């Protein structure tokens, strides 16, 4: 009788030990799962932070890329004309749009070179970019050399540059678009107005002193 009970107790003890081992394994698995979930959460948080940094970097880079569009075309911003800076910013924004869309230069049409339309298009695009940069360089020179009261001479010089580009483009029949030329002329006018105001301010200060 006691022997049977001892065997039964031993069986139960072994069963208990087995259950304890099973519970221990389950506990270890749950701990591992918890650790894994925590790692996933951390990785997710790091990913969100990384994406945020990437978006921020892209946002910071975007104005530089936009500015590069103007510089490649020979246009350089200036912050010196403080009293007209908002208007100049609008002018430069529209100029940038015209450059990006290819609307700063008109003409070209369908050109075939060595029997290839694609080569002809690239030739027109390259020539257009060269002509636009040449015009913009002349416009920048006009701005740099502009003096109070010298607006008419600067306008004439810029108009001559546009006429020369149209003449030199030959069979491509390229020209600076009227809208783009109007923007660069308006830029000259605003800069001349700023210089005139600054000269008058200096004269007023000299008289007052």
Per-residue pLDDT tens over the stretch 113-123: 667 777 778 88
| Mean of pLDDT values over 64-70 | 70
- Among candidates 88, 75, 106, 84, which has minimal Cα distance to 179? 106
Instruction: Say what the pLDDT of residue 203 is.
Output: 81
pTM: 0.65
Distance CA 148, CA 203 (A): 13
Domain boundaries, the chain: 1-62, 73-208
What average pLDDT does range 149-167 have in this prediction?
90
Q: What's the CA gap between 109 and 165, in Å, rounded?
A: 16
In percent, the amount of the chain with pLDDT more than 90 equals 25
Q: pLDDT digit string (tens) for 147-156?
A: 756 889 999 9
What are the tens digits of pLDDT across the range 88-116? 989 999 999 999 999 999 987 676 666 77
For residue 7, give both structure tokens: 């065997």
Give 64: exposed, middle or buried? Use CB within 10 Å, 0-12, 13-18, 19+: exposed
**Nearest partner of 139 among 49, 76, 45, 52, judged by Cα:** 76
Q: What are phi and psi of 34, to 5 degrees?
A: -60, -45
Residue 192 has pLDDT above 60, yes or no: yes
- Whether the predicted pLDDT of 208 surpasses 60: yes
Share of residues in the chain with pLDDT > 70 (%): 63
The first and second tokens of residue 110, run together, are 């369908």
Q: Is the pLDDT of residue 131 over 80?
A: yes
């Amino acid at each position: 009788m006691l022997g049977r009970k001892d065997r039964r107790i031993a069986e139960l003890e072994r069963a208990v030990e087995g259950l304890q081992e099973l519970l221990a394994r389950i506990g270890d698995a749950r701990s591992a799962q918890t650790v894994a979930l925590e790692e996933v959460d951390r990785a997710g948080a790091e990913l969100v932070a990384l994406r945020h940094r990437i978006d921020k970097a892209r946002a910071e880079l975007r104005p530089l890329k936009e500015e590069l569009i103007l510089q490649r075309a020979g246009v350089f911003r200036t912050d010196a004309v403080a009293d007209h800076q908002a208007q100049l910013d609008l002018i430069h924004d529209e100029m940038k749009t015209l450059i990006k869309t290819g609307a700063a230069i008109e003409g070209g049409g369908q050109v075939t070179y060595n029997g290839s339309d694609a080569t002809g298009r690239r030739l027109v695009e390259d020539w257009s970019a060269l002509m636009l940069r040449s015009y913009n360089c002349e416009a920048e020179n006009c701005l740099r050399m502009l003096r109070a009261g010298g607006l008419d001479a600067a306008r004439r010089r810029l108009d001559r540059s546009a006429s020369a580009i149209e003449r030199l483009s030959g069979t491509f029949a390229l020209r600076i678009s009227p809208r783009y030329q109007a923007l660069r002329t308006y830029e000259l006018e605003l800069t001349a107005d700023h210089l005139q105001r600054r000269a008058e301010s200096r004269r007023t200060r000299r008289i007052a002193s």
